[in-house]
């Protein structure tokens, strides 16, 4: 039988279809009941039969279903019919080639009958739950046909229902309105006044509670979909009635209705917060009253808190609005602090068993914690820190341990959002926490340690640099709390947090004590303590680097013992963490010290890898990372293990996301949303659940592949053909950012590996055409992914990766590929500009404040980073293709040059500028634009002269900019133009000299912040002396230049300038040496200073030339002249010269 025949229906199935769709309805009803069967086989057969009916007799099937929905006495059958109709009418086929829904293929007569039967069913249906399903079906069908005016009877029917005396009719109409709003909200605008009157009537007091809730949902959905603020404003007077719906439900004890109302209001707060502005104080006040009410259910109070937090988080739509209510912020904070008190002293907590990690914590406590974190991030430190400073002292002074605990937990939770402000009061914060290390209650001591750990992360490295002498000894003594192993374990974890932001020098004095204590904890009977000690040791080793060598011989035997012995299921995490620790210790001490143990460790890992590990075993992810660290440590010596490492690594990188899709309104899988390993998002009417552990393993694997390619270079070549097709598609893996980031980072590494392998003859017979083939695969994929990338930060990484790829194999790109990169740059700049403009609009909001300004500044810094990457890419393209690239550069110019929009843009006749006149240009944008022009001038030379008249005036003006980075870029550019500009630069020489003079003569010119600009100005002055001597007063300017030497900040420019000085002395430059060689002592002093700095300030070749020149001077100058020259030098320079000349 041909394969196409396998899926063809059998004669028996055709007979079954005929029976099911025949005049005897009992067959059809049986089919529908079988579709609801719990027995898989029965249900599967029914589904096959149902699909055959749908494919072969859609009209009859639809009419049968609508009749069953209308008239069946069985509620289950009516409910199922509503669901099935919705599915087959409005959901596209699974087959992508048939993305059409079923409805358009029905005959006009069927369509008409269906629509009238549905409306009759809405009128007849008495069951509330079936009514809801029926309204869903009507709404979805309406969303398909209304835009083409395909259901003229629907709106009159709904308006009729909504004024009916039957509450069920009114509720149904409102439910349909609510759903239609998102599809056809704007087409209902002509009926605004009627809808307003309807909502007003249905929200009024004395209305049936179900109708009021439906009216609340409909009005909120409708307000959300109106584009014009003026249209939304017409509904403002509904807000008191909306709130009344909530308060009356609470007053009558209908908490489930109240919770439904709260959920709808939360949606409004998140999407249209400005709608609430005029009555914000009343609304927030009412919500806080609910949150404070002792008698209400926890769930209700949590939703009221969620409303206020959501409002605080709706920054983009209503920046700063909630910060205008300081009295409420304090009240909310007090509510959240009170929630943190809901913690019990559960004996299980003291057992320090991992499964009792949250012992004593209630849902109140967890919600309080989460909300403090979110509130501080959304409102910022300037708002939160004054409030907490007012509340915490009383908590810390109270006799109850729960209050001390709450204060410390709160500090830890707000640290991320308030880090900038808290850093200013570090001493106060640190002493507050460290005082609690002595608290008599173990849970308070645990909370104090927890706070130090969190503060180390959020306020580092300031906290580490200023308070290491207090924090590390306190943590060390907390590790001695043997009566409370959970406290010991947490102290070890805090050492990890603290050391992550530490330099090796800072940690060094404490290592003896800390490593000793961690070794004691490693031998503790409690697994939680051992795990804490392992992660702390790993972090300490990682931060100490070679300083850890001293402890290696004491530590490694313990680590290997745990690795070898922790084999049972209960110890899986212990084994995983021992791998992490061993590999980090190995990297810290280096290959020579580690190599003997490395072989044994890798043998154990190979053994483990060969065994059947369960899919949820943490060993898998830890092992992937450990192998990569071992590779970093051993370098090319790791190559023999690659055949063992790569197959499982590729398997992990190729994991498919574990996704489950359910209907958003179904109760199925609702329990899964409480499962921490499943992340759920709701899109439209679908709930999508994604298993996070699978995504994390995939991300780890992708990162490790990148590490191997980076470390092994050409040694990674044999794996490219498997790795490239695995990672390239992941550039567009939108389920997980880390996967995309890793894939992006790997692209240039793969190209570099291939190129080096070909160059070094290690490419298994492949040649340059293989590199071209690989770059043709990778670079267009990166460009395409960049076009679709939603995250600004990842866009920057993609541009950085494109830039690296260009540096590796740019010359082999063809013209169309280069053009596609340039086109994408235009898109990136325009998108970035649109985001900036949108933020500029937010600045105009009436509630905008300084805190919001600070947050916007941070968001705009990401745009600067993006523009910087565009500039770097352009610099690389200019360096590779030089003059021939300029036609493409000209297309980009209007998008790029904010400082030159007037001439540059209109010169090219482009009005779609991302930067129009009047746009504020940041210093960073200006710097990047100048660097781009510097690159054009440097790499395109004569071909770039046409830009001088446009750009040089801006460059010269920028030489005296208030930003030191802008000044540096500008004076560097002046030097480039002086060197390559020839006659085109001559007219600018005079102004250039005065601009450079201003930079050089600044009183603070040699301050560390300004020295790079100073050095580049001196270098530029030298180039004017060299290339435009005939246009300057050389007798004055050349000695002025000499007087600035040596330069010591910009080591690249220093080498150029000091080489130029050498050349001028070698040719006995008259203006340099001066009348009667008057400047010779200065020249000798400069040489002496350059030579005493070793190879930092001059190349090896220049150093040799300087020594030769000094020896020549020694032989040709009269001894008296030489002696007077020497006497003018510093003692240190005299010594340097004597040792050079006497050798």
Instruction: Write out the DSSP string of 731-775.
Output: GG-TT-HHHHHHHHHHHHHHHHHHHHHHHTT-STT--HHHHHHHH
Mean pLDDT, range 544-571, rounded to an integer? 89
Helix (H, G, I), strand (E, B) or coil at 664: coil
pLDDT at 664: 57
Provide the mean pLDDT of the chain: 88
pLDDT at 6: 41
**Cis peptide, bond prior to residue 1046, ω within 30 of zero:** yes
pLDDT at 1095: 85
pLDDT digits (tens, 9 = 90+) for 380-419: 899 999 999 999 999 999 999 999 999 999 999 999 999 9
Mean pLDDT, range 963-991, rounded to an integer? 96
pLDDT at 1141: 78
If we measure between CA atoms, which residue out of 589, 608, 597, 606 comes closest to residue 550?
589
pLDDT at 911: 32
pLDDT at 100: 61
CA 373/CA 78 separation, integer angstroms: 47
Detail the DSSP E strand segments found in 508-572. Answer: none
- Over the range 629-645, which residues count as b (16 or more CB within 10 Å of their CB) and which as e? bbbbbbeeebeebbeeb
Q: Within a 10 A sphere around the Cβ of 247, how many other Cβ atoms?
A: 14
Which residues, in sequence order, are bridge partners of residue 663? 686
pLDDT at 1: 37
Q: Within a 10 A sphere around the Cβ of 33, how many other Cβ atoms?
A: 15
- Over the range 194-220, which residues count as b (16 or more CB within 10 Å of their CB) and which as e? ebbebbeebbeeebebbbbbbbbbbbb
pLDDT at 319: 62
CA 485/CA 533 separation, integer angstroms: 11
pLDDT digits (tens, 9 = 90+) for 309-363: 999 998 766 667 888 888 899 999 999 999 999 998 888 888 877 776 777 788 9
**How many residues are given for the chain?**
1143
Triad 983, 984, 985: Cα angle to 5°: 90
Mean pLDDT, range 790-808, rounded to an integer? 96
Is the CB of residue 32 less than 8 Å from the CB of residue 77? yes
Is the CB of residue 524 less than 8 Å from the CB of residue 533? yes
CA 627/CA 708 separation, integer angstroms: 9
CA 88/CA 85 separation, integer angstroms: 5
Is the CB of residue 433 less than 8 Å from the CB of residue 463? no
CA-CA-CA-CA torsion sign (1056, 1062, 1065, 1067): negative
CA 530/CA 577 separation, integer angstroms: 9
- 90-104, 152-166, 480-494: range with highest mean pLDDT: 480-494
Bin 660: left if φ > 0, else alpha if -120 < ψ < 50, else beta: beta
Is the CB of residue 779 less than 8 Å from the CB of residue 817? yes
pLDDT digits (tens, 9 = 90+) for 577-595: 999 999 999 999 999 999 8
Is the CB of residue 959 less than 8 Å from the CB of residue 923? no
Q: How does DSSP classify residue 919?
A: P
CA 749/CA 526 separation, integer angstroms: 43
This prediction has a pTM of 0.78
Mean pLDDT, range 953-981, rounded to an integer? 96
Q: Residue 745 has which token pair?
A: 């980072």
Kindly tell me if the per-residue pLDDT of 910 is higher than 50. Answer: no
- 38-42, 451-455, 1091-1095: range with highest mean pLDDT: 451-455
**Cis peptide, bond prior to residue 102, ω within 30 of zero:** no
Kindly tell me if the per-residue pLDDT of 91 is higher than 70. Answer: no
CA 449/CA 295 separation, integer angstroms: 35
CA 1071/CA 1039 separation, integer angstroms: 7
pLDDT at 318: 67
Is the CB of residue 1101 less than 8 Å from the CB of residue 1055? no
Terminal-residue alpha carbon distance, the chain: 97
CA 493/CA 481 separation, integer angstroms: 14
Kindly tell me if the per-residue pLDDT of 914 is higher than 50. Answer: no
Triad 1041, 1043, 1046: Cα angle to 5°: 90
Kindly tell me if the per-residue pLDDT of 248 is higher than 70. Answer: yes
- The DSSP result for 359-380, as a single string, is TTB-HHHHHHHHHHHHHHHHH-
pLDDT digits (tens, 9 = 90+) for 978-1027: 999 999 999 999 999 999 999 999 999 999 999 999 999 999 999 999 99
CA 704/CA 981 separation, integer angstroms: 48
Indicate the range of 626-630, 650-654, 660-664, 749-753 predicted with least confidence.
660-664
Helix (H, G, I), strand (E, B) or coil at 55: helix
Q: Residue 1015 has which token pair?
A: 């050095």
Kindly tell me if the per-residue pLDDT of 1050 is higher than 90. Answer: yes
Q: How does DSSP classify residue 1049?
A: S
Q: How does DSSP classify residue 343?
A: B
Q: What band does 1081 get if pLDDT is binned at 50, 70 and 90?
A: confident
If we measure between CA atoms, which residue out of 566, 506, 502, 512 comes closest to residue 534?
566
Bin 1042: left if φ > 0, else alpha if -120 < ψ < 50, else beta: alpha
Is the CB of residue 236 less than 8 Å from the CB of residue 275? yes
Which residues, in sequence order, are bridge partners of residue 662? 687
Kindly tell me if the per-residue pLDDT of 838 is higher than 90. Answer: no
Is the CB of residue 598 less than 8 Å from the CB of residue 634? yes
Triad 198, 202, 203: Cα angle to 5°: 115
Q: What band does 772 get if pLDDT is binned at 50, 70 and 90?
A: very high
pLDDT at 935: 96
Which residues, in sequence order, are bridge partners of residue 678? 691
CA 242/CA 264 separation, integer angstroms: 10
CA 376/CA 383 separation, integer angstroms: 8
Is the CB of residue 117 less than 8 Å from the CB of residue 69? yes
CA 655/CA 75 separation, integer angstroms: 43
Q: Which residue has the tokens 């914000």?
A: 280
Kindly tell me if the per-residue pLDDT of 146 is higher than 60. Answer: yes
The larger pLDDT score, comparing residue 1126 to residue 582, is at: 582
pLDDT at 675: 56
Q: How far is CA 813 from CA 165, 174, 785, 821, in A?
A: 74, 60, 18, 11
- Over the range 848-882, which residues count as b (16 or more CB within 10 Å of their CB) and which as e? bbebbeebbeeebebbbbbbbbbbbbbbbbbbbbb
DSSP alpha helix (H) spans, 844-905? 850-881, 886-896
pLDDT digits (tens, 9 = 90+) for 697-737: 899 999 999 999 999 999 999 999 999 999 999 999 988 99
Helix (H) or strand (E) holding 662: strand 659-663
Mean pLDDT, range 541-547, rounded to an integer? 93
Is the CB of residue 744 less than 8 Å from the CB of residue 797? yes
The torsion angles phi and psi of 23, rounded to 5 degrees, stand at -70, -25
pLDDT at 676: 59
The torsion angles phi and psi of 152, rounded to 5 degrees, stand at -60, -20
CA 629/CA 708 separation, integer angstroms: 9
Q: Residue 838 has which token pair?
A: 């949108």
CA 340/CA 632 separation, integer angstroms: 45
Q: Which residue has the tokens 């395909």?
A: 150
CA 317/CA 847 separation, integer angstroms: 10
């Amino acid at each position: 039988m041909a394969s196409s025949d396998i899926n063809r229906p059998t004669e028996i199935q055709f007979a079954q279809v005929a029976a099911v769709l025949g005049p005897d309805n009992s067959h059809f009803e049986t089919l529908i009941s079988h579709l609801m069967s719990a027995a898989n086989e029965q249900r599967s057969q029914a589904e096959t039969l149902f699909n055959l009916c749908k494919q072969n007799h859609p009209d009859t099937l639809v009419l049968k279903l609508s009749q069953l929905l209308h008239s069946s006495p069985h509620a289950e059958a009516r409910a199922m019919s509503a669901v099935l109709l919705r599915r087959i009418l409005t959901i596209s086929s699974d087959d992508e080639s048939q993305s059409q829904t079923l409805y358009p293929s029905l005959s006009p007569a069927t369509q008409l009958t269906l629509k009238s039967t549905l409306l009759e069913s809405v009128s007849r249906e008495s069951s509330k739950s079936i009514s809801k399903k029926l309204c869903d079906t009507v709404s979805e069908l309406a969303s398909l046909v209304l835009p083409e005016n395909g259901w003229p009877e629907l709106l009159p029917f709904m308006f009729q229902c909504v004024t009916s005396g039957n509450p069920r009719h009114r509720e149904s109409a409102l439910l349909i309105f609510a759903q239609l709003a998102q599809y056809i909200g704007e087409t209902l605008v002509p009926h605004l006044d009627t809808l307003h009157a309807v909502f007003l009537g249905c929200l009024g007091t004395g209305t049936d509670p179900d109708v009021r809730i439906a009216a609340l949902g409909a009005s909120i959905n409708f307000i959300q979909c109106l584009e014009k603020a003026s249209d939304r404003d017409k509904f403002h007077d509904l807000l008191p009635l909306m709130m009344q719906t909530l308060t009356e439900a609470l007053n009558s004890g209908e908490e489930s209705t109240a919770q439904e109302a709260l959920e709808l209001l939360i949606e409004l707060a998140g999407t249209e917060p400005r709608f609430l502005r005029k009555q914000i104080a009343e609304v927030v006040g009412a919500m806080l009253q609910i949150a404070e009410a002792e008698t209400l259910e926890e769930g209700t109070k949590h939703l009221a808190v969620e409303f206020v937090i959501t409002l605080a988080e709706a920054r983009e739509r209503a920046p700063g609005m909630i910060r205008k209510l300081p009295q409420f912020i304090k009240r909310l904070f007090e509510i959240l602090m009170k929630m943190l008190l809901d913690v019990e002293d559960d004996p299980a907590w003291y057992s320090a068993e991992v499964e009792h990690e949250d012992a004593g914590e209630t849902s109140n406590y967890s919600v309080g914690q989460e909300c403090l974190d979110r509130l501080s991030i959304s409102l910022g430190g300037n708002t939160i820190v004054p409030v907490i400073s007012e509340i915490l002292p009383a908590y810390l002074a109270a006799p109850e341990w729960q209050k001390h605990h709450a204060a410390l937990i709160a500090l830890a939770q707000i640290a991320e959002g308030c880090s900038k402000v808290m850093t200013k009061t570090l001493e106060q914060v640190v002493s507050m926490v460290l005082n609690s290390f002595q608290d008599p209650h173990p849970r308070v001591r645990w909370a104090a340690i927890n706070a130090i750990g969190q503060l180390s992360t959020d306020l580092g490295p300031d906290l580490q640099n200023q308070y290491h002498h207090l924090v590390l000894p306190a943590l060390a003594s907390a590790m001695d709390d043997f009566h409370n192993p959970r406290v010991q374990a947490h102290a070890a974890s805090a050492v990890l947090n603290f050391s992550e932001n530490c330099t090796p020098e800072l940690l060094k004095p404490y290592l003896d004590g800390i490593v000793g204590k961690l070794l004691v904890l490693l031998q503790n009977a409690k697994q939680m303590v051992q795990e804490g000690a392992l992660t702390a040791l790993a972090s300490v080793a990682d931060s100490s680097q070679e300083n850890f060598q001293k402890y290696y011989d004491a530590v490694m035997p313990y680590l290997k013992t745990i690795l070898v012995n922790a084999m049972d299921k209960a110890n899986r995490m212990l084994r995983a963490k021992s791998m992490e620790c061993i590999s980090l210790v190995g990297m810290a001490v280096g290959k020579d010290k580690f190599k003997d143990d490395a072989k044994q460790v890798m043998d154990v890992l190979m053994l483990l890898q060969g065994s059947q590990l369960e899919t949820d075993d943490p060993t898998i992810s830890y092992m992937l990372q450990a192998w990569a660290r071992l590779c970093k440590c051993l370098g090319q010596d790791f190559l023999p293990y690659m055949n063992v490492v790569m197959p499982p690594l590729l398997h992990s990188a190729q994991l498919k996301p574990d996704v489950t899709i359910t209907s958003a309104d179904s109760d199925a899988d609702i329990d899964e949303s409480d499962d921490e390993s499943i992340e759920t998002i709701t899109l439209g009417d679908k709930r999508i659940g994604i298993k996070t552990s699978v995504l994390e393993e995939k991300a780890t694997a992708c990162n490790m592949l990148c590490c191997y390619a980076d470390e092994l270079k050409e040694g990674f070549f044999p794996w490219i053909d498997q790795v490239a097709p695995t990672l390239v598609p992941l550039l567009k893996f939108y389920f997980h950012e880390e996967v995309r980031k890793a894939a992006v980072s790997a692209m240039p590494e793969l190209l570099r590996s291939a190129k080096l392998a070909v160059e070094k003859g290690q490419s298994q017979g492949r040649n340059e055409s293989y590199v071209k083939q690989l770059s043709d695969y990778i670079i267009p994929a990166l460009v395409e992914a960049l076009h679709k990338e939603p995250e600004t930060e990842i866009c920057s990484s993609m541009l950085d990766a494109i830039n690296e790829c260009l540096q590796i194999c740019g010359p082999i790109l063809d013209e169309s590929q280069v053009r596609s990169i340039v086109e994408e740059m235009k898109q990136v700049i325009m998108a970035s500009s649109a985001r900036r403009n949108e933020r500029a609009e937010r600045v105009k909001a009436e509630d905008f404040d300084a805190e919001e300004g600070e947050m916007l500044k941070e968001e705009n810094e990401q745009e600067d980073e993006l523009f910087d990457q565009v500039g770097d890419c352009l610099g690389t393209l200019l360096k590779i293709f030089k003059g021939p690239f300029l036609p493409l550069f000209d297309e980009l110019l209007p998008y790029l040059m904010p400082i030159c929009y007037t001439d540059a843009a209109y010169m090219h006749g482009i009005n779609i500028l991302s930067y129009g006149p009047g746009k504020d240009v940041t210093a960073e944008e200006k710097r990047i634009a100048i660097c781009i022009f510097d690159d054009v001038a440097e790499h395109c030379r004569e071909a770039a002269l046409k830009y001088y008249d446009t750009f040089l005036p801006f460059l010269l003006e920028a030489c005296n900019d208030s930003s030191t980075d802008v000044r540096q870029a500008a004076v560097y550019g002046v030097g480039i133009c002086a060197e390559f500009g020839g006659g085109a630069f001559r007219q600018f020489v005079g102004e250039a000299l005065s601009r450079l003079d201003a930079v050089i003569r600044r009183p603070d010119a040699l301050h560390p912040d300004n020295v790079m600009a100073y050095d580049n100005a001196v270098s530029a002055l030298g180039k004017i002396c060299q290339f435009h001597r005939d246009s300057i007063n050389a007798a004055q300017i050349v000695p002025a230049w000499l007087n600035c030497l040596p330069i010591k900040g910009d080591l690249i420019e220093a080498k150029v300038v000091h080489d130029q000085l050498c050349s001028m002395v070698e040719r006995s430059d008259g203006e340099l040496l001066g009348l009667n060689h008057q400047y010779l002592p200065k020249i000798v002093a400069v040489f002496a200073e350059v030579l005493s700095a070793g190879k930092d300030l001059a190349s090896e070749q220049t150093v040799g030339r300087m020594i030769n020149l000094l020896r020549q001077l020694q032989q040709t100058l009269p001894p008296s002249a030489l002696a007077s020259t020497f006497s003018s030098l510093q003692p240190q320079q005299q010594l340097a010269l004597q040792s050079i000349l006497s050798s």
